[in-house]
Chain A
């Protein structure tokens, strides 16, 4: 289904993603990214029609941090604003729907995550079913390892292939100055078997921001806008034991609804924090060998939780802006073992 209004990603900026950022509060980490994304379009904060952000206070244990982050936007006089306790990709979805309604012509979307103050493996257990699962404290690596084992047992992959996903991602990231892990990284010991440290994303802090604009406004603000041809998100049952962990029907359905299967894409930015999840997504999203997957290095090179999905959309859009892609798929995930998935299809005008 064609969107009722042409909306594009017209600018993208991100921080350098780093293991720690002790010297910066969240708003201090975010501020330069907001300024950079606005500078790319020449817009001022007051020109933006709608602002939407994604973050989670649990990451840094800092209550209401998202309201303090608003200090970086310049929210006075009062702006039209919203927040999701999700990855910024879902904030972008909300902003996209706001622009579809015609209430706004431009939107600022940002997200940030500081995982360094806490233990993100344990923090993420708090998003699980509070009755049957969270009391067992199964950490995020353990749950991903259960999925990886299911894939290996099903003959869908093996540890060697997983290692090659890790190596390719970090090699690609050597061209990405923002990435946290760049170049060769040892595959390492088992963290939770069958996943080794190399199969897992780095833990770190970072922020990202995107500007959306509709129609002619987008053409004014960007030489080659990355038009959102479709975007959709779908979720699966929360109980891991009712899902087929070797597949991702929600990613496939989101891709179908976003129109991803109508024509081949040349590039895909996948939010696969674990190597095994790239295997699942390649199958679900029907990505052939001709598709350039995660030229940025993906989440295996930098995984600022709550921003890594928005970074995928931003990276895909930036490739369209630069003329390196004509049709790109961007994916974001949330929850354990790819529970919830968002897919966007971005296109540049013919050159």
Chain B
């Protein structure tokens, strides 16, 4: 039993999101150092403003400016800031009810320590030096003991409204493929292809994921298959993939390795693309230092009889 494999895995994506009219006005306002709320039918002012009333589901469009000063309604001291959070030094998470608002906004409060924070304390917005129309245009809140700032009565209309945001997201993992796939990868490291046999239906899965999808039982008996196999079906790729250094057109095929009951896939080389056919007998070609076959090439054997691979199509 090889030791469980592990590898770092980063999942990263810039989410591009369009904004509704209320979100657009709010985020444009932040860019212009104006905080907007939205008024509900029963006269409450929601900050941050939403497009629909959270109680009645009424469409909300009545924007009102509120003050950049407010009161902490609850807080939590974060002594170890994590990646992406508003401040890199210890800070308090706070819900702040801005003056003129009836609901609270979540953000960070820059304070020297937990003893300097309490529910009910007065705070004001600290604006980010560079603002583009995102919630992080508020850099954070800071303690404030001055007078309530008077909002100027902005109506929420600005030049050059922000209509979307790009929200980058990144999550870091340590990936481990599990028992069956670890064995498959460990086999490949020795240029062997190892599958697993279902104890119930006796089919050999390559690569095995640890369970027979037909019988719902664990596969455990290791079976070496190949190295030769048969093309069961294929396609001709005419569009070059990004970061892939292979000339098009090329052939990508399902290959049933000898002894396997499930086809795996790989590129076919060493033969003109328009001469590849179902039943073609192929063998793997390993590149120097490669951790899996670079491609498969014809063996020169006669084509396999359709009856021998039709179950694996």
Contacts and interface: CB of A to CB of B under 8 A. Distances in A.
B213 A60 contact: no
A133 interface: yes
A47 interface: no
A61 interface: yes
Contact of B83 (A75, A130, A137): A137
B69 interface: no
B209 A192 contact: no
A188 B110 CA distance: 25
Interface in A44-94: 45, 58, 60-62, 68, 70-76
A27 interface: yes
Nearest to A30: B211
A130 B82 contact: no
B296 interface: no
B77 A190 contact: yes
A23 B178 contact: yes
A239 B122 CA distance: 22
Interface in B46-103: 46-48, 50, 54-55, 73-79, 82-86, 93, 95, 97, 103
B107 interface: yes
Given A25-B179, A71-B212, A136 B86 contact: yes
A138 B75 contact: no
B278 interface: no
Contacts of B108: 136
Contact of B78 (A117, A150, A192): A192
- Of the listed residues B55, B175, B216, the one surrounded by the most CB atoms of chain A closer than 10 A to its CB is B216
Contact of B175 (A58, A61, A146, A148): A61
B181 interface: yes
B188 interface: no
A282 interface: no
Nearest to A26: B178
B107 A119 contact: no
A208 B210 CA distance: 18
Contacts of A31: 210-211, 216-218
A342 B134 CA distance: 34
B93 A28 contact: no
Interface stretch (B11-19, B148-156, B239-247): B11-19
A122 interface: yes
Interface string B34-50: 00000000000011101
Given A74-B214, A76-B214, A145-B93, A241 B173 contact: no
Interface residues of B, number: 66
A189 to B, nearest CB: 9
Given A145-B76, A153-B74, A240-B95, A137 B84 contact: yes
A23 B216 contact: no
Contact of A27 (B6, B107, B182, B210): B210
Contacts of A1: none
A293 interface: no
- Of the listed residues A31, A75, A148, A149, the one surrounded by the most CB atoms of chain B closer than 10 A to its CB is A149
B161 interface: no
A35 B210 CA distance: 14
Interface stretch (B164-172, B253-261, B266-274, B300-308): B164-172
A72 B219 CA distance: 10
B84 A241 contact: no
A75 to B, nearest CB: 6
B54 to A, nearest CB: 4
Nearest to A67: B213
Given A23-B179, A131-B165, A239-B54, A146 B75 contact: yes
B48 A241 contact: yes
Interface in A103-147: 117-119, 121-123, 126, 130-139, 142-143, 145-147
A150 B73 CA distance: 8
Nearest to B182: A23
A149 B74 contact: yes
Given A75-B213, A76-B214, A193-B79, A126 B176 contact: no
Contacts of A117: 9, 173-176
B84 A28 contact: no
B76 A239 contact: no
A122 B76 contact: no
B144 to A, nearest CB: 19
B106 interface: yes
A74 B74 contact: no
A262 interface: no
A192 B216 contact: no
A22 interface: yes
Contacts of A193: 76-77, 79, 114
A194 interface: yes
B23 interface: yes
Contacts of B78: 142, 192
Contacts of A132: 48, 105-106, 135
A24 interface: yes
A241 B178 contact: no
A350 interface: no
A7 B22 CA distance: 46
- Of the listed residues B9, B104, B210, the one surrounded by the most CB atoms of chain A closer than 10 A to its CB is B210
Contact of A149 (B9, B76, B209, B217): B76
9 contacts: A28-B180, A71-B209, A71-B213, A118-B172, A131-B27, A145-B76, A149-B119, A150-B73, A192-B77
Given A147-B74, A239-B50, 17 more contacts: A24-B178, A26-B178, A28-B180, A45-B216, A74-B215, A74-B217, A118-B173, A121-B82, A135-B165, A137-B84, A139-B82, A143-B93, A149-B76, A153-B74, A192-B76, A193-B114, A241-B105
